[in-house]
Amino acid sequence: MIKKKNLVFLGPPGAGKGTISEALLAKEDITHISTGDIFRAEIKAQSELGKMAKDYIDKGQLVPDEVVAGMVGSRLAQDDCDKGFILDGFPRTLPQAEMLSAELEKCGRSLDGVIYFAAADEVLLERLTARVLCKKCGKVYNKIFMPPKNAEVCDDCNGEIYQRSDDSLDTAKDRLKVYHEQTSPLIEYYKKQDLLFDINSVQDKADVLADLLKVIA
Ligand code: AP5
Ligand code: MG
């Protein structure tokens, strides 16, 4: 059981880290920090950071560790992280995990738990290639499992529905390969620190959330 709420959401692409973050935020007032969302916002704004990140994201590769860790470090220092936070999609490499420890120490914080969302590659590929989202508010849908009422517009804000460029079958396969090579060692890393909580993400969203709530009650 986790008493405080400084969390890392760890897991392969498509496991549901973003979906379950959104569901948890409807119940808990904590800060959501998704490095993927930050990069997509920077790309939209055509910033220098966005232009640099796009090259990596389009190839299914990771953005360099120092860039991501610096970005997360300054975000974690902000006051809205006092109430607890979810780090969604960070860290993704062992060096990033070490950099995270250093950044947390700098701002006087620590991790309470790492939630590992487990799912098999076949499930992940099916989810990723069917994922669509809203251009305006970012809400995530799935053409098979959680479709918007109207295939072309967002249920919440009427924004245009689109598919992420890195959700093509080939790039999704590349991202899974990168996950297995570079990110999956973090499971053992956090297990050794007694911070890892394993959740089966291949069940209904409501059941995944219920399992998570049991862990962080
Ligand atoms: P990022 O955006 O973080 O992508 P990711 O980790 O590849 O994860 P996804 O967002 O694809 O999956 P998710 O687990 O959030 O699943 P979701 O909830 O959407 O990163 C993108 C890129 O940015 C990276 O490839 C990299 O280049 C760069 N980057 C980001 N962080 C970085 C870092 N730390 N270091 C370096 N580079 C970094 O769900 C997926 C689909 O499944 C949706 O359609 C959803 O509706 C559906 N779904 C979810 N749950 C269920 C369920 N229970 N049942 C059925 N369907 C479900
Ligand atoms: Mg996500």
pLDDT at residue 187, as a whole number: 98
Is 216:27 a contact under the CB 8 Å cutoff? no
Reading the block at residue 92, the tokens are: 């993704």
Answer yes or no: is the C-beta of 75 below 6 A from any ligand 1 atom: no
State the total domains in the chain.
1
Please tell me the distance from the alpha carbon of residue 144 to that of residue 187, in angstroms, as a whole number.
29
Let me know if residue 95 belongs to a domain.
yes
**Minimum CA distance residue for ligand 1 atom 6:** 13
**Minimum CA distance residue for ligand 1 atom 11:** 13
- Measure the CA dihedral 165/178/53/63, to 10°: 170
Element spanning 140, H or E: strand 140-142
CA of 18 to the centre of ligand 1 (A): 6
Is 87:72 a contact under the CB 8 Å cutoff? yes
Answer yes or no: is the C-beta of 62 below 6 A from any ligand 1 atom: yes
> Residues 155-199: pLDDT tens digits?
999 999 999 999 999 999 999 999 999 999 999 999 999 999 999
Provide the domain limits for residue 40: 6-119+182-216
Nearest-atom number in ligand 1 for the CA of 175 is: 25
Query: Quick one: residue 46, left, alpha or beta (phi over 0 = left, psi -120 to 50 = alpha)?
Result: left
pLDDT at residue 3, as a whole number: 73
Write out the catalytic residue numbers.
17, 92, 131, 164, 175
Let me know if residue 50 belongs to a domain.
yes
Nearest-atom number in ligand 1 for the CA of 178 is: 25
Residues 6+ apart with CB under 8 A from 163: 131, 132, 133
> Residues 75-105: pLDDT tens digits?
999 999 999 999 999 999 999 999 999 999 9
Let me know if residue 1 belongs to a domain.
no
Q: Any idea what the CATH number is for the domain that residue 205 is in?
A: 3.40.50.300
Answer yes or no: is the C-beta of 116 below 6 A from any ligand 1 atom: no
Let me know if residue 26 belongs to a domain.
yes
Let me know if residue 139 belongs to a domain.
no
Let me know if residue 134 belongs to a domain.
no
Let me know if residue 61 belongs to a domain.
yes
